[in-house]
Amino acid sequence: MEELSTVSPSTADEVAIILELVPDSEETSPAVVHETGRSLVESLQREGYDLRPVYTGTRGGPFLVEVANAITQAAAFVWANRATVEEVTNDTSALVTIMGAAIPLVRRVFHAHETQVGKDEEAIRPIKISVMIDGTPIEVEARDIAQADAALALARKFATAHPQTARQVSAKSKTRVRGQVPSRPRRRSK
C-alpha cells in the first residue's frame, strides 16, 4: 500500500488515527464508500471527535480523515476498564491505549456500513476492517470489539501476531483504521 502524507498530531496529548475507507473491489460503487464515510464523519462529529481531512493530491481516491482523539477520551476508556488493563505489562500499555482509541472508530465504521446497506446485506457482505500500527495490520471483526475488554483483546491479538512491532509501539506510532467496503450485488433485470 502506498504511504500517504498525513497531518501529525498537534500536541503530545493526542492520539491521532487515520480513518480510511476503500472499495473492496473495482465493482464497489464510489458512492457507497462516500456515503458510508459521510455517515461516519457525522457520527464522529456528534460524539465530539476532532476530524481533519487528509489530502493525498489524487481525485477519487480513498475516503481519508484523521481523527484526533484527545488522549483523555482514550484514557477514560482505559480507566473504565482498569481491572482488565492492569493485567497488561508496561511493554504493551501504549498498544492498549491505541486500541482503546481505535475501538470506538471501528464500532462506528461497522455501524455506518450497516446503516448504508442494511443488516441483511451486512451479514452477507461484511465490511473488512483492519487496524494498522506503524504499517503492521491485524484484521478486526465485529465480534472482536463486542466484548468489554476489547482493547486488551486486540492488544493481545496484535502482540501475538507481531511481537517485535508490539514492543516498539508508542503513543506516537502511526495508526490507521481501514475499512474495505464490499460491492453491492447487481440487481437482476426482469
Sheet holding 175-181, edge to edge: 50-53, 63-70, 14-23, 175-181, 128-133, 136-140
Residue 190 predicted with pLDDT over 70: no
9 has a pLDDT exceeding 50:
no
In a domain, 186, yes or no: no
Please give the single-letter amino acid code of residue 5.
S
Q: What is the pTM of this model?
A: 0.69
CB 68 within 8 A of CB 16: yes
Cell of 182: 464490499
pLDDT of residue 73: 56
Does the residue 9 lie in any domain?
no
Q: What mean pLDDT value characterizes the chain? A: 76
Average the pLDDT over 117-122 and give the result: 86
- In-domain check, residue 2: no
Residue ranges making up the domain that contains 41:
14-181
Task: Put residue 53 in one of left, alpha, beta given phi > 0 → left and psi -120 to 50 → alpha.
Answer: beta
5 falls within a domain? no
Q: Is residue 7 part of a domain?
A: no
Alpha-carbon distances, residue 47 vs 42, 43, 146, 147, 189 (angstroms): 9, 6, 19, 21, 42
pLDDT band at 2 (very low <50, low <70, confident <90, very high): very low
Structural domain contains residue 96: yes
* Residue at grid coordinates 488493563: 85
The total domain count for the chain is 1
Task: For CA atoms 48, 54, 60, 61, give the dihedral sign.
Answer: negative
Select the more confidently predicted residue: 47 or 15.
47
Residue 115 lies in a domain: yes
Helix and strand numbers (H, E) in the chain are 8, 6
Q: What is the mean pLDDT of residues 91-101?
A: 78
16, 177 contact by CB (below 8 A): no
Residue 51 resides in a domain: yes
